[in-house]
Structure 1
Amino acid sequence: MKTLTLLRHAKSGYDDPLLRDFDRPLNDRGRRASVSIGQWLRAAQRKQEMPEFDHVAASPAVRCRQTIEGVEEGLGVPLAPIYEKRIYLSSSATLVELVAGFAAHHQHALLVGHNPGLEDLLLELVPRGSGPARDDAELKYPTATLARLDLDIERWAQVDGGRAQLTQFIRPRDLDPSLGPDD
């Protein structure tokens, strides 16, 4: 069994029209949301409701880097991500290819990236009709939302559609109503 956790970057700002998309930073709400998700992770890991990550792959975009910094602050430990350019604005097909290439010894990977790729990946891996969390994800995968997928596979190379169970779908607004409504 492998566990893949997906984290969409936190809410970013659009204040500077001259700034490239890649360079957009988090806004205030995004910073608070990323710390809140990190705090939730810390509590869930202490209660053994969420395994610790042994691999972290992330988009190098500024908003993803800052999301990771906020999560690390809330979690209280560094995540040591490997930044992969191909995650930036990638399709679910590219993300499946990336995940399939994770080293076999990794058991619980965190993938930090962007929509629509992350949402499409979740919807591809988790079968339709598998529960209310899947239905929520299909309606909207908000910024800074964490989704845990348990995969009934022995090797990452076996990852493919319809083989995952969505066991957690944590939105920032679920942790702190001031972090909603969804963007």
Structure 2
Amino acid sequence: MKILGIFRHAKSDWTDARLRDFDRPLNKRGRVGAGVMGKHILEHGVGWRYILASPAVRVTQTIELAGEAAGETPPVTWDRRIYLASSAALIDVLKDQETDPRSILLVGHNPGLEDLIFDLVPDDGSSPLRDVVEDKFPTAAYAVVELDIEHWSDLREGCGRLTHLVRPRDLDPSLGPSLTE
């Protein structure tokens, strides 16, 4: 069995229209949310020692702030292929892992991360949390998928079970959607 953590970047700042999408930083709510989620991820206890992440600014800041709040940041492998990747591209990135760690925390963007959950977790009622993801996988959401595989190269659609899902608003209601969004 392998374990895949899926962590969407925190809320980004759209105020400077001149910035490329890749260069957008986190906004104030995103910085708070990244910290709240960092503490939760540590307390959840999987013990992520291998992180694969998009190098986009909002992802790097999310990881930095989550790590500061948790008091540790494991080494990160930055992979440009994760930036705005589709589910199929993310599966390819995961299948390419040569070190074959027991668990990987993948940090990136929607819609690819949400679609990855849908592709890995069958819609057969075995993972009730899947319905919550179908509603929305918001910024800074964190999910854990247990995979029925021996090696990452064996990754395929339908081999997972969604065992954990937390959104920032679940931990701090002020981090939920505002009326202006």
TM-score scaled by structure 2?
0.95
**Sequence identity (%):** 49
Counterpart in 1 of 2:101? 106
**C-alpha contact (below 8 Å) 1:58/1:112 kept by paired residues:** yes
C-alpha distance in 2 between matches for 1:105 and 1:23 = 31
Counterpart in 2 of 1:40? 40
How does 1:15-164 map onto structure 2 within 5 Å?
15-45=15-45, 51-128=46-123, 129-164=125-160
C-alpha distance in 2 between matches for 1:181 and 1:154 = 39
Which amino acid is 2:7 matched to? L
Which amino acid is 2:153 matched to? A
Shift of 1:82: 0.7
Secondary structure, aligned partner of 1:11: coil
**C-alpha contact (below 8 Å) 2:127/2:161 kept by paired residues:** no
**C-alpha contact (below 8 Å) 1:102/1:156 kept by paired residues:** yes
C-alpha distance in 1 between matches for 2:137 and 2:73 = 25
Counterpart in 2 of 1:48? none
**C-alpha contact (below 8 Å) 2:127/2:163 kept by paired residues:** no
Which amino acid is 1:2 matched to? K
Which amino acid is 1:54 matched to? R
Shift of 1:104: 4.7
Kindly report the root-mean-square deviation, in angstroms, between the aligned alpha carbons of the 2 structures.
Answer: 1.2
Counterpart in 1 of 2:164? 168
Secondary structure, aligned partner of 1:168: strand
Which amino acid is 1:161 matched to? E
C-alpha distance in 2 between matches for 1:89 and 1:127 = 23
**C-alpha contact (below 8 Å) 1:5/1:108 kept by paired residues:** yes
> Can you give the 5+ residue segments of structure 2 that lack an aligned partner in the other structure?
none
**C-alpha contact (below 8 Å) 1:104/1:156 kept by paired residues:** no
Q: Which runs of 4+ in 1 moved over 3 A?
A: none
C-alpha distance in 2 between matches for 1:116 and 1:5 = 16
C-alpha distance in 2 between matches for 1:84 and 1:177 = 32
